């Protein structure tokens, strides 16, 4: 591999200039000197060809230094595991501030409590790529995709608090459309794939249409580029809501089956943690719990998520759940092989300087000078 292969053109240019110089060389005619040449001792090979050869080698080395041939060295390093995480936050009307019943009538805002817990959790994940999605009647990506700038994520979490100017401009409605939030999460994961594996827009729309069914089971469409691939490893959705799942979305007059959507995400290897505020486990539809947590074999166990219930107005309860997720997704140091690209410019330049010094030494030293008539 060469950094600047175009520099090879300097070599033929150099020899062309030498040829032009030899063509323009002036000569003076003399009588026949054959007899005189026979009496002059024959110069050695070294005196005849050493200096020109050193000149050619010197020019070649300097040209190669400009080209800078590269080579790779395989090395091993320890790196921290990373995750692609999507934090999905419910900002529907039930998360807005309200006064608690009772004599104190204190103001409670479940969204503020949830966002404070999320900020603390993000501080625990310094090596992860994180995206933030807010939803109510529809879902919206708050961060510019997956980012590692956790200060920006913290700022975005502050911006979407109820009552802030940014939150007012980002009106999401009052209902809870969980299906659209899950779909946006899946779309974001698909968009993070390499271009040769990423499905086309038409294939993504076909996949969405296959999820619009009232049937709990049934097949869903998988684009050819994703068939047989477990791209969801290390991809996680943390879904926080206080609403019940209707299992259908009526956004844009379409019926998006959230159970089939979660099954599709599990099929791709995406793990889901569902955080339900102010909800008892016995009140949650068993179909939803099974779709997220069921593991019938070792492969499904890798993508099995978990459903948590918590007290929405209690920050310690929220933090406890996030601590459990952090422990479940504990990262470790892994050994990684990588190729380090190195250049040869310094070595070639040094060699060129050495040969250049040798060229001038042999050219002007009397012992090595070629005898002339």
pTM, 2 dp: 0.68
DSSP β-bridge partners for residue 78: 335
Residue 246 pLDDT level (bands cut at 50, 70, 90)? low
What separation, in Å, do the N-terminal and C-terminal C-alpha atoms of the chain show? 48
Q: Please check whether residue 81 is in contact with residue 331, taking contact to mean a CB–CB distance below 8 angstroms.
A: yes
Query: Region 149-167: what's the mean pLDDT?
Result: 82
User: Closest by alpha carbon to 162, among 228, 106, 57, 92?
Assistant: 92
* pLDDT reported for residue 185: 93
Q: Please check whether residue 210 is in contact with residue 203, taking contact to mean a CB–CB distance below 8 angstroms.
A: no
Query: Region 53-76: what's the mean pLDDT?
Result: 85
Please name the CATH architecture into which domain 82-331 falls.
3-Layer(aba) Sandwich (3.40)
Residue 321 pLDDT level (bands cut at 50, 70, 90)? very high
Query: Region 226-236: what's the mean pLDDT?
Result: 82
Structural domain spans, the chain? 1-17+43-77+343-373, 82-331
* pLDDT reported for residue 47: 67
Query: Region 228-232: what's the mean pLDDT?
Result: 78
DSSP β-bridge partners for residue 306: 273
CA atoms within a 13 Å half-sphere pointing along the CA-CB vector of 342:
12
């Amino acid at each position: 591999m060469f950094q600047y292969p175009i520099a090879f053109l300097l070599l033929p240019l150099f020899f062309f200039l030498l040829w032009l110089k030899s063509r323009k060389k002036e000569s003076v005619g003399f009588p026949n000197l054959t007899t005189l040449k026979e009496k002059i001792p024959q110069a050695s090979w070294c005196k005849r060809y050493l200096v020109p050869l050193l000149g050619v080698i010197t020019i070649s080395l300097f040209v190669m230094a400009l080209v800078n041939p590269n080579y790779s060295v395989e090395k091993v390093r320890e790196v921290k595991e990373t995750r692609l995480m999507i934090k999905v936050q419910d900002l529907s009307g039930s998360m807005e501030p309200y006064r608690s019943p009772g004599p104190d009538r204190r103001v409670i805002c479940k969204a503020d409590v949830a966002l404070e817990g999320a900020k603390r959790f993000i501080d625990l994940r310094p090596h992860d790529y994180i995206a933030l999605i807010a939803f109510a009647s529809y879902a919206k990506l708050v961060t510019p995709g997956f980012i590692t700038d956790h200060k920006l994520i913290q700022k975005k979490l502050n911006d979407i608090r109820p009552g802030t100017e940014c939150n007012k401009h980002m009106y999401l409605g009052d209902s809870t459309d969980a299906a659209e939030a899950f779909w946006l999460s899946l779309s974001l994961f698909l968009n993070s794939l390499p271009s040769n594996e990423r499905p086309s827009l038409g294939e993504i729309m076909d996949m969405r249409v296959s999820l619009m069914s009232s049937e709990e089971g049934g097949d869903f469409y998988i684009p050819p580029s994703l068939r047989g691939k477990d791209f969801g490893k290390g991809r996680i959705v943390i879904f926080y809501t206080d609403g019940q799942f209707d299992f259908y979305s009526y956004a844009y007059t379409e019926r998006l089956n959230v159970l089939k959507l979660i099954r599709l995400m599990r099929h791709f290897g995406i793990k889901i943690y569902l955080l339900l505020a102010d909800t008892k486990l016995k009140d949650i539809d068993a179909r939803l719990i099974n779709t997220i947590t069921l593991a019938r074999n070792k492969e499904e166990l890798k993508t099995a998520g978990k459903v948590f219930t918590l007290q929405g107005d209690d920050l310690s309860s929220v933090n406890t759940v996030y601590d459990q997720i952090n422990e479940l997704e504990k990262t470790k140091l892994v050994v990684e092989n990588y190729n380090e690209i190195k250049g040869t410019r310094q070595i070639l330049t040094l060699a060129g300087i050495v040969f250049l010094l040798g060229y001038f030494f042999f050219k002007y030293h009397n012992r090595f000078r070629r005898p002339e008539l």
